[in-house]
Structure 1
Amino acid sequence: MSTAVNTGRKAAARRRTKTTTQAAAAQYKIAIKYILCGALLLLGIVFMAAYSTNLQQQNNTLAARNDVLQAEIDSLKEQINDATSIEKVETIATKKYGMVQPDESNYITIRDEKKQGSSLADTIKKEAYN
């Protein structure tokens, strides 16, 4: 009987060893899965950081371009204000086109001459050349 008991004990020991080996293999697989998931997570973080850095660089470039364009807009607005100021218009009108400010000596009085048969244009010509 001792042989049968020894054989049974050996078989039970082999089963325990096999079960222990299978458990160790299952734990090894789980550990590998966790390591792979961690590695993928870290790799994703690295890629997201690189992408974020790239977006930040593009944002900085666009902000600098926006500042340049805003400075150009401000310069153009100032040029428009200078060109359309009353003083500038008066200077150009008097120097370039010979215009003068109206006073008592440089206006035309139109009399009612319809009774005499002359038109408005004739009246203006007559007054302008007299």
Structure 2
Amino acid sequence: MKLILSSLCFLLIAGFLFAQGNEVQEQKENMFIEVNSKNEQVLKTADELSERLKEWNYWHLVSAPEQSDLQMRVHIEASKGITATSWGGTSYALSAKIIDQKGEVLWESTTYKASPNGMNGFNAGKAVVKKLMRDLKKKYPQK
């Protein structure tokens, strides 16, 4: 009886370990980032967003919408001048939507705003990207 129980336990443990070792990696979804602007400063901020998304490695970024499972539609506004929080430079407002292939909005951000100041290293574009990434990581925990 002991031999049967010990053999059964061994087989259960071996099966469990085998299942853990051969776990299939989940395929990442392809993401296309859409930015509808030709403004040089906006495009630099969009490039910053792409770099942060690549570092995070949650989605696989693709270069064409036809290759994507999801699209991130990014709206970035850049404005120059004196604001209540800065004395010049370029201020940014950024918002994003994640949309599936059917056109359904899966997630929509708030509008993140930043003006150049000492707290963000006088790089407001990078500051709005950091705010968006913080909320994305809360919404989509690492797989």
Shorter-chain TM-score above 0.5: no
- The structure richer in strand per residue is 2
TM-score band, normalised by shorter chain: under 0.3
